[in-house]
Amino acid sequence: MRFLPLVLTLCCGTAAAQAPSAIPNEASRSAEDSVKIPIQRFFDGMRRSDTAMIRSSLAPNAVLQTIRMTKTGETRVTTDPVDSVLVGIAKPHTDVYDERITYDGIKIDGPMATAWTPYQFYVGEKFSHCGVNSFQLVRYSGEWKIQYIIDTRRRTNCK
């Protein structure tokens, strides 16, 4: 199950970090808030095991990657196919996957945006790991879609 660590990394945002009420209504939404919408949808879909919701947040050829350190200290980048990740999310699980993100910067240039989101990940109430997600988004016909996610993960030096 090579994709399980990615599933565990990119799961379930908390209400404080990503609650729908945290995003202003459309009339008062800032450009940065509009970038948060597909990220919110992605994590809401994971929390609900709703693969259709997750897929609706992604661009057609989205890429999901993770940067890991091997036991020997080498850096490795792995790519997980979206469909494999979605199969893993759809499988029943007893503990809630709870990825608690914060937004630490959103940049926008025309139809491209990036969001930097440090996180702490819990399985149920048990801490699993932490790191940072980097989201690259593209605006298609006025709607932001996640084109690329790359994340780091570690079990130490977590804030």
pLDDT tens-digit readout, 2-23: 444 555 444 433 333 444 434 4
Structural domain containing residue 62: 4-152
pLDDT digits (tens, 9 = 90+) for 51-70: 999 999 999 999 999 999 99
In a domain, 24, yes or no: yes
In a domain, 158, yes or no: no
Q: What is the pTM for the complete model shown?
A: 0.81
Gap between the Cα atoms of 99 and 139, Å rounded: 25
In a domain, 61, yes or no: yes
pLDDT digits (tens, 9 = 90+) for 98-133: 888 999 999 999 999 999 999 998 888 899 999 999
Domains contained in the chain, number: 1
Strands in the chain per DSSP E: 58-69, 75-80, 97-101, 106-109, 112-123, 126-140, 143-152
Specify the CATH number for the domain of residue 112: 3.10.450.50
Gap between the Cα atoms of 38 and 145, Å rounded: 6
